[in-house]
């Protein structure tokens, strides 16, 4: 019953979330912003199951052999966020192939490691090692833990002995890591205070991908609350002098807003430059240089991809996401 109440509260909060449409946006912002084409389903987690399953927050990584991998929250319908205790794993030889191949769970919760559930994985590669950051829950909503697991082959994952990487609230979750100058920066969704307040995108920095310090706030939304909120699933991309921040759900469950700034540690709500009809959007770049954006979520039936257009006149701009190297 407790799980049902939490799930119902989550749906109610999303449905009641104030629209961002009333925010004043410069008239030329959206014309130089971000848009997406048609979404196509590439993976159905319910294949081979007795019930329909969903994918929620997820990530993509291309392995050394050229194979694409997807990891994400998964669970049988109907939604039950507090019982999401496994990470889905699917792979594909080509990013846009339909369908992706289903694999056994990549990782399952570990109560011995003080994990309450598994949410929102993000994977990156550095010097031949793959780092998976994820939300493991916590004893209190104000003390949520972000954990790290590492792998050499994208198949076997081992929890890092120095977990947790950080503890924060309310429900600190949805980590995403990018290189900024000589530092690694982890963005995640939280609140202005661990017990509640404004929904924010917070960040911490690291020299070694293990020890994280110097917490700051990169984006503050005018809305307040606790569970859920419009600053989830942060994803950051640099193009030329600009840094783009993707967050949601905004203007409904399937809604991601895009903000642009020249400062990777500060975005303002007036800097909106795009809106994509996607929940838990991830940005992906294929080997041919083309950009894509994903969509998933409760009741969505799986994982979707759509071509993404920047519309900012920077087709040859240096970016934090160069296309993956092609493999022979």
Confirm whether 256 is domain-assigned.
yes
Q: What is the CATH number of the domain that holds 107?
A: 2.115.10.20
Question: For a pLDDT cut of 70, what percent of the chain falls above it?
Answer: 90
Higher model confidence: residue 303 or residue 10?
Answer: 303
Distances (CA, A) of 200 to 45, 220, 226, 232: 31, 4, 11, 9
pTM for the whole structure? 0.92
Pure H helices in the chain: 2-16
Confirm whether 132 is domain-assigned.
yes
Confirm whether 61 is domain-assigned.
yes
Confirm whether 32 is domain-assigned.
yes
Confirm whether 318 is domain-assigned.
no
Nearest to 165, CA basis, from 178, 147, 177:
147
In this predicted structure, what is the pLDDT of residue 19? 36
**Structural element, H or E, at residue 197:** strand 196-206
Confirm whether 67 is domain-assigned.
yes
Higher model confidence: residue 321 or residue 29?
Answer: 321
Q: Show the domain range for 228.
A: 2-309
pLDDT digits (tens, 9 = 90+) for 112-155: 999 999 999 999 999 999 999 999 999 999 999 999 999 999 99
Residue 29 — pLDDT band, cuts 50, 70, 90? Answer: very low
Residue 4 — pLDDT band, cuts 50, 70, 90? Answer: very low
Higher model confidence: residue 152 or residue 20?
Answer: 152
pLDDT at 6 over 80: no
Confirm whether 324 is domain-assigned.
no
Nearest to 239, CA basis, from 202, 270, 285:
285
User: How many domains does the structure of the chain reveal?
Assistant: 1
Nearest to 273, CA basis, from 232, 235, 247, 244:
244
In this predicted structure, what is the pLDDT of residue 33? 80
Confirm whether 17 is domain-assigned.
yes
pLDDT at 17 over 50: no
Residue 23 — pLDDT band, cuts 50, 70, 90? Answer: very low
Q: Give the whole-angstrom CA distance, residue 257 versus residue 274.
A: 6
Taking a C-beta distance cutoff of 8 angstroms, is the pair 32, 58 a contact? no
């Amino acid at each position: 019953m407790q799980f049902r109440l939490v799930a119902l509260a989550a749906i109610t909060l999303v449905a009641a979330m104030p629209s961002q449409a009333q925010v004043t946006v410069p008239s030329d912002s959206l014309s130089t912003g971000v848009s997406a084409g048609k979404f196509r389903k590439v993976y159905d987690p319910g294949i081979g199951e007795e019930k329909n399953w969903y994918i929620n927050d997820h990530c993509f990584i291309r392995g050394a052999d050229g194979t694409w991998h997807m990891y994400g929250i998964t669970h049988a319908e109907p939604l039950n966020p507090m019982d999401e205790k496994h990470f889905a794993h699917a792979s594909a030889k080509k990013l846009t192939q339909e369908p992706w191949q289903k694999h056994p769970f990549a990782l399952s919760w570990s109560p011995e490691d003080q994990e309450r559930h598994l949410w929102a994985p993000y994977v990156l590669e550095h010097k031949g090692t793959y780092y998976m950051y994820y939300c493991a829950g916590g004893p209190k909503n104000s003390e949520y833990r972000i954990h790290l697991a590492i792998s050499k082959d994208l198949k076997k994952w081992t929890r890092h002995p120095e977990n947790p990487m950080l503890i924060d609230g309310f429900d600190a979750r949805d980590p995403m890591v990018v290189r900024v100058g000589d530092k690694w920066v982890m963005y995640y969704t939280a609140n202005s205070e661990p017990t509640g307040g404004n929904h924010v995108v917070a960040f911490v920095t690291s020299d070694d991908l293990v020890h994280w310090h110097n917490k700051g706030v990169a984006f503050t939304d005018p809305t307040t609350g606790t569970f859920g909120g419009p600053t989830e699933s942060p994803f950051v991309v640099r193009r030329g002098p600009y840094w783009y921040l993707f967050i949601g759900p905004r203007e409904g469950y399937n809604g991601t807003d895009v903000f642009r700034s020249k400062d990777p540690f500060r975005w303002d709500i007036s800097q909106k430059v795009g809106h994509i009809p996607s929940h838990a959007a991830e940005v992906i770049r294929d080997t041919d240089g083309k950009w894509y954006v994903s969509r998933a979520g409760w009741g969505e039936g799986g994982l979707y991809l759509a071509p993404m257009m920047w519309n900012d006149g920077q087709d040859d701009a240096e970016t934090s996401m160069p296309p993956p190297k092609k493999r022979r």
